[in-house]
Structure 1
Amino acid sequence: MTFTGTPRPRPRWYHAQTELDDFAIVTYRVPAGALARLLPPGVVPTEFAFADGGPAALVSAVAFRDRDFHFRFCPRVAIDCGQINYRAYVTVGGRQGVWFFGTILDHPLAVVPRWVWGMPWRRARIEIEADWDGAPARWRLAAGDARCEAEEAGAPHSRVDGFTGEEHWMSVLTHPTVGWYRRRGGGIGVYGVWHPPMRPRHLTAISARFGVFERLGLTSPESVPHSILAQRHLHFDIHTPPRRLPGGQGPFRRGHGRPVPRL
């Protein structure tokens, strides 16, 4: 069965849009208990049944180059810069989505979501390169202590370990439409996105290390990615502005887990 994605919410005048180039989702298998200790009450790691070693959770570094980011009510701006989102796959009140540890953007605009919406963003140098026409195709990331070099796997994959089938891993790994994050100064924020269904290419890591996940105690320098899903271009709608969840309401209780190390 081909994954068809989700219906596109009607774009609003205050939403944002962007084109993403050289997009890759680098995913690691991590202990669910270690991840749970980093999350606020009410945010529950999604556990997956793996062929060896039993159930575990998943986290991803999602890296790409932003192109033509703009709010719909503003003219397009010439932005071409790298971005990395660090996320975990979770459920909140029974709804599947992702928890954002933070975002790194290689542009001065990183201060806008940080100070206007309290999002955990910061600026840093990011280099992303890809050769999609090579044999095999290659993808490379260098951003401080985040580094990955990967090449396309020899044959297409229909199964991904920990998932029941293509529709399962496509919906969880490539198509989360809601995300939660810890706001600066306290509280929880939430926002939504939409994009067409990915048609990802499966890559294999030649080398990979992400210092953020190591400092969080989720991976080690020897950890090998569970999967790398990549695509040359992808359109995104961002449903700005993020909303702030009222404290103490819904599934969230007081307390927000232990402090998270700086990205």
Structure 2
Amino acid sequence: MSDCLRHVSDRSRATADESPPTCFVLLTRGYVMWYVCRSKAMHTGINESFMGFNFLKKNNNMATINNGVIGRASGKVGAVIASSWKSINYLKGLPKKRTKGMSEEQLIQQDRFLKISKFLMPITPILQVGFGLSKTEKMTPTNVALQLNIAQAVTGTYPNFSLDYSKIEISTGSYLNGGGMEAAVDNGILSIYWDTILNSLYKTKADDQVIILVYSPEKDEFMTAPTPPTRAAGTIDIQIPAHLLGGKGHVWIFFTDRKAEKVSKSTYLGEFDLA
């Protein structure tokens, strides 16, 4: 999505008797993909789920036009589909049928995208907090996370890409984190520690929330604390489910205020034996 070019159409010159038309944003690529995870996207014209993202599907619904000469439109009009997102009206061209195979460069980019998206999509609720303050007027938090992590966390060469978990970020921001943070596993318990000292300059609070994420590559499963602890707690013990014991676990942590209006950059605490 980040490389989709958006061009604002020239405003039509309105006569004295006409209302000025609404300015649309046109996505000029030959196809449009909306990224979702394990659920169907709630959007006009998008209702076919496949491999973690949805393809735009043709339909015969008539477009609706309101408010003015062009006004707000939605649905299909000829070869374009009109929709809106965050009060921005869009016209998107219908996907063209592919007549030849993908180039090697396209295959590489697709494989890189699939590698990171399969990891990030199940943790969309966490990404909405962790990246909720980043470029939200232009991109969704999940797409911001995808753009960042595809550039820095996907390693190797095609077709054998892998993820460098130490470079994955699940949040970004300038809010103060937990200082000297550590984690350890003992007898099936994951214990995490952080500093509780408050900082008046950053206006940290005792009731700041601590978001913790654990990932098991062997089971391809994520785990979080049942209830996010507070900054004042300084520690938390998390019972590791029996089916995850014996494998490896990657751990991340970040801090946010109660309203998620301030967010810290995530910290990778390391890889641990879940014993």
TM-score clears 0.5: no
TM range (shorter): under 0.3
Normalised by the size of structure 1, how large is the TM-score? 0.23
Which protein has the larger Cα radius of gyration, Structure 1 or Structure 2? 2
Of structures 1 and 2, the one with the larger relative CO (CA 8 A, separation 6+) is 1
More helix by share: 2
